[in-house]
Amino acid sequence: MTATGSMLADPSGPKASDHGIPLGEATRIWARIAALSFGGPAGQIAVMHRILVEEKRWIGEERFLHALNYCMLLPGPEAQQLAIYIGWLLHKTRGGLIAGALFVLPGFLAILALSYLYVLLGQLPLIEGIFFGLKAAVLAVVVQAVVRVGSRALRNNVMRGIAVAAFVAIFFLDAPFPLIILAAGLGGYIGGRSGLPQFKGGGGHGSTGGEVVHDRDTALGEALPDHARPDLGWSLRICAILSFLWLAPVAGLFLILGPDNVFTHIATFFSQMAVVTFGGAYAVLAYVAQKAVGTFGWLRPGEMLDGLGMAETTPGPLIMVTQFVGFLAAFRDAGTMAPLLAATLGAILTTWVTFVPCFLWIFAGAPFIERLRGNKALSAALTAITAAVVGVIFNLAIWFAIHTLFGQTMAVRSPTGSFDVPIPVSINIAAVVLAVAAAVAIFRFKLGVLTVLAGCATLGAIYTLTV
């Protein structure tokens, strides 16, 4: 074994797992889950639950939900982190690496291909029409996210007040997303420690219902695997390796290319995002849009919607839209490099610094997860953060609506920044009709997200080709 391989070894050593699940079979199952992981975190978690708990019976309901609750406390996409956690629980470090990598790979390849299509053929009427329709559908999908998360999180006036405060802070005062999350988490933690009932934890992505599969009736059983017991030495080693893999490229780009290079900006910005992305993909997108569009000027508001449309229609975490942002940023600031090569490297770099930290959070904390079970203060912090996220997602919905339904906006100054308001005469009637149709399809007829996206893309293409 190489030195690196030795350091990556699990604390239980080379001893084989005794649950009887071959690593090869698990790899095939993780590939299957990755190919079916459409529909955002709720849909992805439901797919994992159906296959791993109900169909394969590899783990039970209690262990699945306990792992999910831990992943919801972490920054980053909880569905991918749940895959890493369960892969590690079944097959140690190697299993976690395989599960987490496969969860991202199909979406990465699909969005990379769509990004090439976007920059090479995006000016064609057919392609413009498809993305015109997708933007309108994405607006309805984001509104659905506000309603879905809000119905779960805003259970009392305190939570509603946190959501309103978060919206005001990010929309009118241009407050940084990390500051909003930090303030909400701190307030929730204090409320939980004080025993206030308004901060009582709960909610989250539940199971899909039906028969409850208990841990004792599964391949893994109720006992804790040897490698899952806390081992400080292994945790420190794996944290050191993953931290190096994550941060060494960032430091190298800073030293070699300088602080003002586009690749340095991509590496540092998305590394910062990786540690503050609580609350799911839609909350993160508000932060990314705020910086990528307003601060860095990497892309235009409508293009952010195009990227989200790509992420909604491909497998994998919705946060994969950041790959499209990195792609366009490098494409438009390639320097002496060929634009498509620079864009490809930008997409790879963005994906790397976004998802490597997810492995770090799981491998560092999973062996110690039992200490978090039933921690009311941490649960209260998560509850307050989720409430703040509702306000942040509502901000995203307003921002998308302004830039989807209107052709022109004007900036209005606030004490700490500015915010956009639409110019009424620039309203796009076709976009309004498509957005309303998408909303009716989702809320009235309960059609799936992919069906709505496909329908709006088709209608958008027809409209563009016929006007």
Residue 69 pLDDT > 70:
no
Q: Which two tokens stand for residue 411?
A: 């900036």
Tokens, residue 135 = 């933007």
Q: From the CB of residue 22, how many other CB atoms can be counted at a distance below 10 Å?
A: 11
Q: Please, is 364 exposed, middle or buried when counting C-beta atoms within 10 Å of its C-beta (0-12, 13-18, 19+)?
A: middle
Grouping H, G, I as helix, E, B as strand and the rest as coil, residue 96 is helix
| Contact yes or no for 133/460 (Cβ under 8 A) | yes
Give percent of the chain above pLDDT 70: 90
Average pLDDT over residues 182-204: 83
Element (H, E) at 322: helix 321-332
| Both tokens assigned to 376 | 């009311």
Q: Which of 233, 244, 222, 240 is nearest to 10 (CA)?
A: 233
CA angle (164 as vertex; 163, 169 as ends), nearest 5: 100
Q: What gap in Å lies between CA 101 and CA 216, rounded to an integer? A: 29
Average pLDDT over residues 391-407: 86
Q: Is the pLDDT of residue 358 over 80?
A: yes
Instruction: Compute the distance between CA of residue 455 and CA of residue 449 in angstroms, rounded to an integer.
Output: 10
For range 248-264, the mean pLDDT: 96
Q: Is 296 exposed, middle or buried (0-12, 13-18, 19+ CB in 10 A)?
A: middle
Ranked by mean pLDDT, the top range of 36-50, 321-335, 354-368, 436-450 is 321-335
Q: What is the mean pLDDT of residues 430-454?
A: 92
* Contact indicator for 269, 352 with CB cutoff of 8 Å: no
Of residues 100 and 73, the one with the higher pLDDT is 100
Distances (CA, A) of 210 to 15, 54, 57, 62, 63: 36, 9, 14, 14, 17
Confidence at residue 281, expressed as pLDDT on a 0 to 100 scale = 67
pLDDT at 400 over 50: yes
Q: Is the pLDDT of residue 40 over 80?
A: no
| Chain centroid, CA 65 distance in Å | 19
Q: Does the structure show a pLDDT above 50 at 325?
A: yes
- Separation in Å, CA 93 to CA 78, 79, 83, 235, 311: 18, 18, 12, 11, 28
pLDDT tens digits, one per residue of 167-177: 999 888 888 77
How far are the Cα atoms of 181, 286, 388 from residue 166, in angstroms, in the given order? 9, 12, 5
**pLDDT higher than 90, residue 20:** no
Per-residue confidence band for 456, with pLDDT thresholds at 50, 70 and 90 = very high
Closest by CA position to 388, among listed 152, 144, 180, 141 = 180
Burial-class residue 219 by CB neighbours within 10 Å (0-12, 13-18, 19+).
Answer: middle
Q: Are 112 and 347 in contact (CB under 8 A)?
A: yes
Flag the least confident range among 100-114, 120-134, 180-194, 359-373: 359-373
Quote the mean pLDDT of the chain: 85
Model confidence pLDDT, tens digit, residues 280-291: 666 677 778 888
* Structure tokens, 410: 């004007």
**φ, ψ for residue 337, nearest 5 deg:** -85, 150
